[in-house]
Amino acid sequence: MLLSVKTHERTELVDITSEIQDLVRKSGIKQGLCMLYVPHTTAAVTINESADPTVKSDMLKVLNQVIPWDANYRHLEGNSAAHIKTTLVGSSELIAIENQRLVLGTWQGIFFCEFDGPRSRKLHVRIIEEKYAEFG
C-alpha cells in the first residue's frame, strides 16, 4: 500500500498515526507487523511523543540548528542538509500489531518527516500477518 503525504513546510513532522492505524484496521490482520518505508532521500519516518506538539517543534529546532541549510555543502542541488537529516532519522519503522492495533506507547505517534518540502510524498506500508506453525 502507498500512503500519500502532502507537506507544507521546508522541514515538518506530520503525524500519520491515525492513517496507519486505519490501514491496519482495514487489513483485518489481528496479529503481525506493520512496516513503514519512505522511498525518498530527503524524507524520513520516526516514532516519538505525539501528545505535546512542542516536542515536534523542539525536534525540528534542534535538527535545523545541528544541520543548518547553509553550511557550504558541496552538493549542487542545495539540499544536503535534508539528506543528512534523513540519514540520521531513518527511512523505516517496524511496529507490532496486536488485536488489530498498532503497539505504541501511551504518548507515541508515528511521524512522516519532511526535510526538503513542501512536497507531495509517498510512504510504503506493508502489513504482515503473524502465522503460527503447529508442531506435533
CB 104 within 8 A of CB 50: no
How far is Cα 28 from Cα 129, in angstroms, rounded to an integer? Answer: 9
What would you measure as the largest C-alpha separation in the chain, in angstroms? 65
For residues 130 and 27, give the distance between their C-alpha atoms in angstroms, rounded to a whole number.
Answer: 13
The domain locations on the chain are: 2-128
User: What are the tens digits of pLDDT across the range 24-46?
Assistant: 999 999 999 999 999 999 999 99
Q: What is the pLDDT of residues 78-127, one digit of tens each?
A: 899 999 999 999 999 999 999 999 999 999 999 999 999 999 999 999 99
Q: Is the domain 2-128 a CATH 3.40.720.10 member?
A: no
Sign, CA dihedral 102-103-106-108, equals: negative
